[in-house]
Amino acid sequence: MSGDVAATSKQMRLRYAGHCRVCEAELPAGSMAVYEKLTKTVACLGCAAPTTDPVPDSAATVSRVSMPIAPGSGPDSEEPGAEEPTVVAGAAGASAQREYGRRKNNRETHIREAHPHLGGLVLALTDDPQSTKAWAIGVGGEELFGRRLDGLSRQGVLALHDRRIPPTKANIDHIAVGPSGVFVIDAKRYKGRPNLRVEGGLLRPRTETLMVGSRDCTKIVAGVHKQIELVRSALARADLADVPVRGMLCFVEADWPLIGGSFTIADVYVLWPKKASEHLLKPGPLDDALMQRAHRHLAATFPPA
C-alpha cells in the first residue's frame, strides 16, 4: 500500500462478519481484512489494493448500522464509537429483473439469428411468452413492496431486499427486522382474491389450501417455511436463537375485500402491504441494539442476490 492509503486503512481481524465493499464476498467473523477508516467499510485482502472508493450501485439501498464498539476491540480502537461496516440493504427485485432481461435478450437473439432479414418485424409483431412476462410482473411486485418497507425505516424497521441463499442461486425477496422479531417475506403480484380453502377435519385429515382466485398457490407456503428455517439457523449461529422469526406472503395488488381478508396458513401470514406494515410495527421484545445486531448478521449471511 502507498503511504496515503496505509494512513487511512489498516489490516485487522474482523470482530463481526461483513462483506467486501468491492467484490461483495462474505467475510466471516475472525477473518483478516482491510478496514477503511474514511468510509468505515472493509475489503478482502485480494481487493485491498489502492483504488478510488467505488460508488455503490444506484439501484441498491445502502444503510449504515451504528453499534457501540468496546474500546480497543473494534476495527478502529482509537475511535470507540466507530460505525460498523456498511450494510447494503439491496435492491428489491434485482435478481428477477436480471432473469427477465436474460430471457428477453435470449429470445431476441434467437429470432434475429433464425430470421436475419425479418427478425425485427417478428419481434415487433409478437409478444414475449408468458413465462418471460411473469418475471417482469414479479419485479413490479417486489419493487412496490420494497418501497413500502424502506418507508418504514423512519419508524425503526430494518429491511433487506433480494438476498441470495448461499451456495444456491435461490433468493429471499425481503427480510424485515422489527421490534416483534424477524419477518421473512415473499412478495407476489398475482391477480384474484387470496383465500383459505379448508377441507376435512372430522372424519378425515384436515387440509388447508391457499387459493388466489382459481389458482392453487399452496406450494409457495412450503417455500417460505424453508426460508424461515434458514434464517432461524443463521440467527442461532450468532447466539440470536431467541429472536422470533415469522413468515409472510404479501400479495400486492390482489383482489382483497374492503373488510377483513387476511389469514394464516401453516403459521404464515397471508396479507397485503398495509397489513404487513402493521405487523412489522407492533411492539415486541427486541430493542434497537438487538434489531441492529440481527440485521447486520443476516445481511452478511444472505448477501445481495
Query: pTM for the full model?
Result: 0.68
Cα separation, 155 vs 152, whole angstroms: 5
> In this structure, what are the phi and psi dihedrals at residue 181, rounded to the nearest 5 degrees?
140, -165
- Strand 215-216 and strand 41-43: pairing? unpaired
Quote the mean pLDDT of the chain.
80
Burial of 10 (0-12, 13-18, 19+ CB in 10 A): middle
pLDDT 10s digits, 11-21:
877 777 777 77
Helix (H, G, I), strand (E, B) or coil at 203: coil
Cα separation, 188 vs 182, whole angstroms: 19
Cell digits of residue 173: 425477496
User: CA geometry: angle at 96 spanning 90 and 98, to 5°?
Assistant: 90
pLDDT 10s digits, 102-157:
787 888 888 888 888 877 877 787 787 876 766 566 567 688 888 899 999 999 99
Average pLDDT over residues 48-73: 40
Amino acid at residue number 136: A
In the chain, the largest separation of any two C-alpha atoms, in whole Å, equals: 79
Q: What is the gyration radius of the CA atoms in the chain, in angstroms?
A: 22
Cα separation, 92 vs 219, whole angstroms: 22
> In this structure, what are the phi and psi dihedrals at residue 175, rounded to the nearest 5 degrees?
-125, 130
Q: What is the pLDDT of residue 253?
A: 87
Cα separation, 248 vs 188, whole angstroms: 11
Among 279, 149, 165, CA closest to 228: 165
Q: What is the pLDDT of residue 123?
A: 72
Among 129, 245, 134, 263, CA closest to 196: 263
Cα separation, 154 vs 152, whole angstroms: 5
Q: For residue 52, give every residue at least 6 positions away whose Cβ sits within 8 Å of its Cβ, in sequence order, or none.
A: none
Average pLDDT over residues 81-96: 68
pLDDT 10s digits, 234-260:
999 999 999 999 999 999 989 999 888
User: What sign has the CA pseudo-torsion 91, 93, 99, 101?
Assistant: negative
Distance separating the N- and C-terminal Cα atoms of the chain:
31
Among 32, 37, 62, CA closest to 299: 62
What sections of the chain are H helices per DSSP?
Answer: 3-8, 94-114, 119-125, 130-151, 219-237, 273-280, 288-301
